[in-house]
Every structure is written in C-alpha cells, then in structure tokens.
Amino acid sequence: MAKPLTDHDRRKQISVRGLAGVENVADLKTNFNRHLHFTLVKDRNVATKRDYYFALANTVRDHLVGRWIRTQQHYYEKDPKRVYYLSLEFYMGRTLQNTMVNLGLENACDEATYQLGLDMEELQDIEEDAGLGNGGLGRLAACFLDSMASLGLAAYGYGIRYEFGIFNQKIINGWQVEEADDWLRYGNPWEKARPEYMRPVHFYGKVEHTREGVKWVDTQVVLALPYDTPVPGYRNNIVNTMRLWSAKAPCEFNLKDFNVGGYIQAVLDRNLAENISRVLYPNDNFFEGKELRLKQEYFVVAATLQDIIRRFKASKFGSTEFVRLDLSKMPDKVAIQLNDTHPALAIPELMRILVDIEKLEWEKAWDIVIRTCAYTNHTVLPEALERWPVDLFQNLLPRHLEIIYEINRRHLERISNVYPGDHDRLRRMSLIEEGNVKKINMAHLCIVGSHAVNGVARIHSEIIKNTVFKDFYDLDPQKFQNKTNGITPRRWLVMCNPGLAEVIAERIGEDYIRDLDQLKKLLDFVNDEAFIRDVAKIKQENKLKFAAHLEEHYKVKINPSSMFDVQVKRIHEYKRQLLNCLHIITFYNRIKNEPNKLWTPRTIMIGGKAAPGYHTAKMIIRLITAIGDVVNNDPVVGDRLKVIFLENYRVTLAEKVIPAADLSEQISTAGTEASGTGNMKFMLNGALTIGTMDGANVEMAEEAGEENLFIFGMRVEDVEAMDKKGYDAICYYNRIPELKQAMDQISAGFFSPGEPELFKDLVNMLMHHDRFKVFADYEDYIKCQEKVNALYKNPKEWTKKVIHNIAGCGKFSSDRTISQYAREIWGMEPSLEKIAAPDDPR
C-alpha cells in the first residue's frame, strides 16, 4: 500500500502556492544561510527555532525590498493621485506567509526549508501576530491594504505603532484574564524605522490672534517617528507602504525647566510623552472619552498630514514651482479616507495648516478639505459614537476647538438659510451638543467636512440615511453612499485554506484569486459528484487538523465527525452570544430528555475577547465556560454535544478555525451589526450560515440564494415595531417552556453549583432590560437550528448548499469594495497591470 503523503509532500502538489524552480530554491537556501550566519555570528553558535524564523523572514523580505523601492520610484515618476487610509487600527496578524503567497514564493520556500531539514509551518508559528486592532474595523483596514496594493493604487495606510496591541486573553477558572501583548519583544523583521521623516506634534498651549494671523504658542512637543511596513500586491510586483507612527520625546523635553524636580526626573518624565503610542485601547464599538485616547487621535492625524503635504509639494507634478505650491490642486492628487470618526481631527487640522500656516482664506481652504476627505461610518450604536467634552479640547487642542466652532457657525448658518426658523433642526445638527457637559459630536464633524459618507453594507447605509443621520441626508443626499465590506481572498482562502483554493483552481483555473466573481463558474459543478466529494473531503481534512490543534493546545478531545458550529467575534450584547447559549442549554436538555434518540452531534465553539471594563461581556464568557463544564462532563451526553470556549481569538486563530467550520453563527439583532466580515470568511471557506437579516448577511442571502442560508428572526421593521410597542421579555419566558427551563437553570445555579447567584446580573438583564431582544428571536432560532440538524444528516445536500455559497462569494472580495471606493469616492482607476520586477530590465 502507498505510504500516506507527508504534509510537506501534500503542500508541494498545491499549484496556487507558486512554482518551486530549482534556481529559485537554491538561491533561497543560499540567502537563508547568509542571514542565519549574520544572526549567529553576533553572539552564539547554536541556532534556535527563532533564529531560523528570522533567517526565513529576512530572506523573504529581501524579495520585497527591490519591488518596494521600484514601486515608490514608479509613483514618484508617474505622480498618480494618492489615497491615504487613516485608521487608529490595523489588525494585520502574521506577515510571513501572506508575503510568500503574494510573491508566489510559498512552494519554493517550503522546498528550501525542507532541504535544510526544517519544517516551514513550525517556523511560521514563531511569528507574533501584529494585533494592532480590536476586531472588524481594524481587520477591514488590513484587507483594504492588501486589495489597494493588488489593484495597483498608490495607497498608504497611516496609523499608530502601538507597543502593546490587543491584550492576550487567558481563561482562568472560567474567567477572562488579560495580559499585555508584548509583540515587539523579539523585534519585528517587517518594519523599517525612518527617523529622517520624524515630525513634531504639538499639544496644549494657547492661541494668539495677531496681525500676521493666528498663532498656536507655548505648546508641548512630541516627536512622531515613522516605521514603514511593506504591503505587497498579489503577484503584480507592487509594494505599497503602511506607515505607523511611534511617539518620542524631544531631546530638550522637560530640561528647560529641570530646576523643578531635577535632571533625573526630567529624563524619566520622557515616558509621559512616549506613552502616546504605548497601548491600543481595547474597546470595540464603545467610546471611552479619555485624554490619552484623544492625544492618540490627534497624534496620528497631525503627523500624517505633515507627511501628506510634504509629499504633495515634493512630487514632480508639472514641476513648475507655481503649480507645486498651489494647494488648491491638492484634491486632484490626494484622497484621505477616515476609517470611522477616530481620525476626524484630520478635518480641523487640515484647516489649521491651510489657514494658519499656508495663509489661504477660509472658503478656499474649506473647499480643499471637503474635496479631499471622505468618511466611513462603522456603527449606529449610540454608545460607540465619539462625543468629546469641549473642556478637554480647550485644554489639549485650543486652536482646533476654535476652528470647530467656526466650522459649526458656518454650518448652522447654512441650515438656517435652508430651513428658516427650524430651531430643533439646528440643535439636532449642530457639531456641539449642549447639556451638563458640552460635547463635540465627531460624526457630525466628519459628515460636514467630507464630500462622501458611506456605510459598510446596504442595510446599514439605508439605516444611516433614514435614522441617525437623516437630517444630514435631507440636506446633502449626494454625499451618502454604500460600500459593502469585503475580505481579501489571498489571506482568507489561498493562505488559510490551500486545499479548497486548489480544488477550485482545478475546476476554473487560478484567475479567480484576483477576480473573485469568477467563483460563479462553480455553479456548473453543483451536481458534479467528484467536486462535491472533493469539497467535502477538504472540509473533513480541515476539521481533523483543527481537532488535532485543539487537542495539542487545549487538551480537549472532540468528535471530528460532529458538526462544527462556530461563533467567533468580539463578545458584545448586540452580537447575542447569549442566544447561542440558550440554544446550547435547550439542546442539552433535549438530549437529557431523550437520550436514545439519534441526535445530530455538534461541537459548539464560541470565541472572542471582552473589553476589560465591560462587565456584562465578561459574565457572558463566564456563562459559556460554566455551561461547558456541565455539558462536557455529563456521561449521558457523551460526544453528541461539546461546548468549547476558544481562548485568545485573534487573526491567527481565525485562520485555523474558519476553514474547519460547518456552521457560522451570525445572530445579531437586525439593525445592529453594520456589516460583519467574519460572515464572509466562513462563506468563502465552505461553512453554511445561520443568521438574522442584518449587516452583510442580507447581501449574502441575495448572492447565494436565501434558500442556501438558514435565515431566522425579526427583520429591521419588526424590531422597530417592537420598539414602538415595547419589548416584554417576561411574556416570552412565560409562553415558551424550553426557554423558561433554560433561564431557570441559569438563575438557580444549575451551571454554577458552588455560586447559585453567579449569573443573577445576566438573568436580570435578559428579563428586564435587554436592548437586543434575545427572547424575541429564541423560538425561531431553535426551529432554524432543527433545520440545520436535518440537513447535516444529508451530507451531499449540505455540500451542494456549500457550493452555492462559495459560488456566491464574488461580491465579498475587498477587491470589489476597493474598486468602488476608488472610482466612486477617490476619483482613481484600479488596474490589474503588473509592473516590471526589479530583476527585469526597465
């Protein structure tokens, strides 16, 4: 009998991983050994795994550098319009494998390391995640960078180089415990410090109105030191830049007045300035009005705008001095996209530069700002909207407060002219909210200061126009657009699920990787026995691999033939992990009632981080782990139901669990999840979705056919109607016996025998003030889960639905999303053209 293929041999057969040419492999080995030698020559003789990882990373990086330099040279010569994507978060994950995929080096590197007696997957596991984001918003920015490079756009991601990213989550005795994410501990081979582009950023001080104009004086200065990370496009030889700023105290910091506290203290106080880039705020969809956060927001904006204007002035342009210094041409050469309101200060800061420093008159400057800036809204949850106290601004950014007041004065004057006498409208639309504490509404500032405002899925963009920003839509309907989110098929298919990528390529070729609409061609294979078999086989292999991973890292044994039912996302009441919990308890109770019935076995996995200050979210995690302790240790249940909390969910864990999932849980209350992007990743990787008509689920159902998803629950209209008449949880509790039983078990301490009161806060919330109406969707959810069970018993029909889903994924490529931003907001034209590689003649 033939020996089963090793992992390495199996990987070698996957053509989407690139060609392993003999010369290529030989060169890689030579360069690997050179890098290893330089690593070791410094201090040691024995190489560690980490030394091998760094040698491989540096070898791959060598392939980027020539392309990077050439791309930037190409932009300098052609002088295209440039787009600047400003975001407080870039959730990048690991870089090594993604770089190999985009450069077509994966098989060559695999072969080279294999010939050197190393296992490439082991080396990849040494890399730390760049966890500079909380969830969807930060990961979207990362997918967008990949697509912008793959579409040949002259694009730059600008953000903060946090020393500590999103915390690592440990589960200890069922509770979440946070630990600092010291991701730079061993150094980062992918970044290059650029001290020559260091920029000063000013805080505090006071404003002087003089005859020569306005001056902001007596400020405290912090230096912004840029670190550049290359962003390679998919096999087009383009390498763009992500530039992240790190805070540095200036040399003279605190020393001018060091008689106060002395020299040593003055040097120690440098930390205060450098704290600006110390740590990512770990809130997802929640606003916490802390001064340090406002400093971070201004820091990234002020440093970035200096860079943008320097690059605008230095570019070759028409190269006559006059044109180069004419800032009115800026909107023809510069687009700035604001990823949520976090970089909203770009609007007043650009005004400050144009008016105070470049001496333009207000109207001219304002026209430039509006034509340059565009704003993406990511949420309608009121607690997530940024509203900064005016006194914080007065102290930290006094000139920006004056500018915002002037923007608001002119804005309100315009409204008065359009709607004379409508004082309530003026109050609603003002950038300044009156109250006990006067606050600046940053979303209003973004809308007024941008030429385009977009939501991130069709339903979300409609909700924005009809509710939260209705007044602004009535005034300026032409500003409002939709740009449904997408994901990069490079990381989220080719890289994380090469087996599936390959069986697709065998049927329709490899071009779909840069043109995901081609997946439609798979509809020709929906009834193809061989293809059905191949898709099911890949899923089974992925499940076995993930089961082995769980056993190795968490010591849990699971049944790989059970349905893998997965809900991974940040823990939040609106995402309704509690609804999932109620289904688990109901299913458990049914097995206990009829232990001899043929149940469809399930492994239910829930994962995600809770913001450290979000008590309810932490209690939800505690409930999930408590339910798991009971269910997993009940001999009557056996391996028909297992509940696993996936610890420390992050990009790298997503890349492992998503390809293994059978069922994707997307169960937010209709109207609360702006888009979701995890939903798209599961769909592309061959899971079926159980979900509400919320966010992008609506468009997924439209693309794949609603009959190929498990849709349940209230629609947005139903939720609105219920808000009008009032939601009465107790009525559901009394009417539905299985719901009552589950709730009674939670509140009586069935899942917390040592502490019967443990979950009383959760129970009280669900019964008396549940904004997200969990009980209202319970019945339909349970019925829908029964349909899931029935279909799973028929693997062939299940897999046919899977194929319909994969075939409907084309729309959800971030390449499509970015092409729409480029054409409809930035005024740029995407291109699939390759530029010459560094080793080609020019």
- Tens of pLDDT, residue by residue over 415-437, are 999 999 999 999 999 999 999 99
| CA separation, residue 606 to residues 89, 241, 468 (Å) | 24, 35, 32
What confidence tier does 40 reach under pLDDT thresholds 50, 70, 90? Answer: confident
434 in any annotated domain: no
The secondary element (H helix, E strand) that includes residue 441 is strand 439-441
Q: Average the pLDDT over 30-52 and give the result.
A: 86
pLDDT value of residue 11 = 75
Percent of the chain with pLDDT over 90: 90
Describe the crossing of helices 615-631 and 577-593 by its angle, rounded to 10 degrees: 20
Question: Could you tell me if 456 and 502 lie in one domain?
Answer: no
Burial class of residue 50, CB neighbours in 10 A (0-12, 13-18, 19+): middle
Residue 570 CA to residue 782 CA, distance in Å, equals 23
Question: Could you tell me if 364 and 458 lie in one domain?
Answer: yes
Question: Could you tell me if 187 and 124 lie in one domain?
Answer: no
**Strand, helix or coil at 230?**
strand
433 in any annotated domain: no
Closest CA to 815 of 17, 233, 83: 233
Mean pLDDT of the chain: 95
The secondary element (H helix, E strand) that includes residue 229 is strand 220-232
- Total domains present in the chain: 3
Which among 438, 461, 486 is the end of a domain? 486
pLDDT value of residue 10 = 77
Residue 693 CA to residue 38 CA, distance in Å, equals 56
87 in any annotated domain: yes
Question: Could you tell me if 114 and 236 lie in one domain?
Answer: no
456 in any annotated domain: yes
pLDDT tens string 435-471: 999 999 999 999 999 999 999 999 999 999 999 999 9
Question: Could you tell me if 118 and 159 lie in one domain?
Answer: no
Question: Could you tell me if 103 and 245 lie in one domain?
Answer: no
pTM given for the model: 0.96
Using only the alpha carbons of the chain, give its radius of gyration. 28
Mind telling me the catalytic residues? 378, 569-570, 575, 677, 681
Which among 486, 507, 533 is the end of a domain? 486
Is the predicted pLDDT of residue 638 greater than 60, yes or no? Answer: yes
828 in any annotated domain: no
What confidence tier does 322 reach under pLDDT thresholds 50, 70, 90? Answer: very low
Quick one: tokens of 165?
A: 């990213």
825 in any annotated domain: no
Beta strands in 249-348 (DSSP E): 334-339
Beta strands in 474-633 (DSSP E): 480-482, 563-568, 602-607
pLDDT tens string 784-816: 999 999 999 999 999 999 999 999 999 999 999
Q: Are the beta carbons of 638 and 539 closer than 8 angstroms? A: no
Question: Could you tell me if 123 and 135 lie in one domain?
Answer: no
pLDDT value of residue 732 = 98
pLDDT tens string 288-321: 889 999 999 999 999 999 999 999 998 765 455 5
Q: Which domain, by its residues, includes 350?
A: 81-93+131-167+174-385+449-486
Question: Could you tell me if 476 and 539 lie in one domain?
Answer: no
What confidence tier does 251 reach under pLDDT thresholds 50, 70, 90? Answer: confident
DSSP 353: I
pLDDT tens string 378-401: 999 999 999 999 999 999 999 999
Question: Could you tell me if 595 and 652 lie in one domain?
Answer: yes
Closest CA to 167 of 177, 176, 175, 179: 179
pLDDT value of residue 818 = 98
Question: Could you tell me if 479 and 539 lie in one domain?
Answer: no
pLDDT value of residue 543 = 98
Q: Of the ranges 265-269, 290-294, 307-311, 829-833, which one carries the lowest mean pLDDT score?
A: 265-269
CATH of residue 160's domain is 3.40.50.2000
Question: Could you tell me if 370 and 456 lie in one domain?
Answer: yes
502 in any annotated domain: yes
What confidence tier does 4 reach under pLDDT thresholds 50, 70, 90? Answer: low
**Strand, helix or coil at 170?**
strand
| CA separation, residue 309 to residues 84, 302, 305, 335 (Å) | 12, 11, 6, 12
pLDDT tens string 578-610: 999 999 999 999 999 999 999 999 999 999 999
796 in any annotated domain: yes
Is the predicted pLDDT of residue 256 greater than 80, yes or no? Answer: no
Q: Are the beta carbons of 412 and 426 closer than 8 angstroms? A: yes
pLDDT tens string 119-157: 999 999 999 999 999 999 999 999 999 999 999 999 999
Question: Could you tell me if 576 and 596 lie in one domain?
Answer: yes
Name every residue whose Cβ is closer than 8 Å to that of residue 354 and which is 6 or more positions away in sequence.
327, 360, 364, 365, 368, 369
Is the predicted pLDDT of residue 5 greater than 80, yes or no? Answer: no
HSE-CB for 424 with a 13 A CA cutoff: 0
pLDDT value of residue 624 = 98
| CA separation, residue 198 to residues 201, 226, 245, 270, 310 (Å) | 10, 6, 9, 17, 12
Which among 458, 486, 514 is the end of a domain? 486
Is the predicted pLDDT of residue 409 greater than 50, yes or no? Answer: yes
